Amino acid sequence: MTRPLVAVLSGAGISTDSGIPDYRGPNGVWRKDPEAEKLVTYEYYMGDPEIRRRAWQLRRRNGTLVAEPNAAHLAVAELERTGVPVRVITQNVDGLHQLAGMPARKVLELHGTARTLVCTECHDRAPMEAALARVEAGEEDPACLKCGGILKSATVMFGERLDPVVLGEALAITKACQVFIAVGTSLQVQPAAGLAGIAADHGARLIIVNAEPTPYDDRADEVVREPIGTALPELLRRLGDDSGG
């Protein structure tokens, strides 16, 4: 029996149990501090040294690099280990799916990764820890060591476009999968949100696991409002059993 391809679209809600706050939820970062959005907006970041200084302090404090995968991340990796074909399409930049054991080649990071920094001039890449160590040592806005250009995290900021190759791969997986699980995402930010509808259009079973209602709930075969840390592992166990895992 051919096992169904399971696509998991994950948003900020899957990582809140790991201590990483979401951005658009009722207690999200943007709702608490609208000014914070400027720190991740490309135009402001590139044009204002003070914005960059604040952004580096935010990176230093936000805990993403020391966060650990939680039960939901581990459950996704466990399903993949049972032999069920699983692909993760994530809106998150925390790298926790990979830390939980998902092979990196099976994780598509739509919005890039906060674990790497990139030079906006020469495009050199390095581990984020390298620049954060310089910030800790007193550099407020560390420049590229190779060319002196402005450094930023290898994440997609507001005002930047998604990597078309990554988006294309995500689209192909969405059209090919038999089960599409949207977990911890408001399904309001395009183009990622539209993947849920595309999956349903192509005949996939659409399951939404999210605390708040989403625009795609009426198209879903199943909507789960329970806490993700317990609901997703249970759902994936069921899926594994149903597919012979």
Q: Does 15 score more than 60 pLDDT?
A: yes
Q: Does 101 score more than 90 pLDDT?
A: yes
Report residue 62's pLDDT band, with 50, 70 and 90 as the boundaries: confident
Say what the pLDDT of residue 36 is.
81
- Considering the domain delimited by 25-62+113-155, tell me its CATH architecture: 2-Layer Sandwich (3.30)
Who's near 83: CB < 8 A, 6+ residues apart? 3, 245
Q: Does residue 78 contact residue 87 with C-beta atoms inside 8 Å?
A: no
CATH 3.40.50.1220 fits 1-20+68-111+162-245, yes or no: yes
Say what the pLDDT of residue 28 is.
55
Say what the pLDDT of residue 8 is.
98
What is the pTM for the complete model shown? 0.92
Q: What angle do CA 50, 51, 56 make, to 5 degrees?
A: 95
In the residue annotation, 111 being an active-site residue is answered as yes
206 - beta bridge partners?
A: 180
Say what the pLDDT of residue 207 is.
98
Average pLDDT, integer, range 63-83? 95
In the chain, pLDDT over 70 holds for what percent of residues?
A: 93
Q: What angle do CA 91, 24, 57 make, to 5 degrees?
A: 80
Q: Does residue 15 contact residue 228 with C-beta atoms inside 8 Å?
A: no
For residue 5, count other CB atoms closer than 10 A to its CB: 16
Please report which residue ranges of 48-148 form alpha helices under DSSP H: 49-61, 71-81, 96-99, 128-136
Average pLDDT, integer, range 144-167? 96
Q: Does 31 score more than 80 pLDDT?
A: no
Q: Does 100 score more than 90 pLDDT?
A: yes
Q: Which tens digits make up the pLDDT trace of 221-231? A: 999 999 999 99
Say what the pLDDT of residue 63 is.
78
Query: How far apart are the two ends of the chain, measured CA to CA in Å?
Result: 11
State the burial class of residue 66 (Cβ atoms within 10 Å of its Cβ: 0-12, 13-18, 19+). exposed
| Among the ranges given (59-63, 101-105, 224-228, 231-235), the one the predictor scored with the smallest mean pLDDT | 59-63
Q: d(Cα 167, Cα 39) in Å, to the nearest integer?
A: 24
Average pLDDT, integer, range 194-212? 97
**How do the domains of the chain map onto residue ranges?**
1-20+68-111+162-245, 25-62+113-155
Report residue 144's pLDDT band, with 50, 70 and 90 as the boundaries: very high
Report residue 30's pLDDT band, with 50, 70 and 90 as the boundaries: low
| Catalytic-role residue among 73, 97, 111, 123 | 111
Please report which residue ranges of the chain form alpha helices under DSSP H: 29-32, 42-47, 49-61, 71-81, 96-99, 128-136, 164-176, 194-201, 228-242
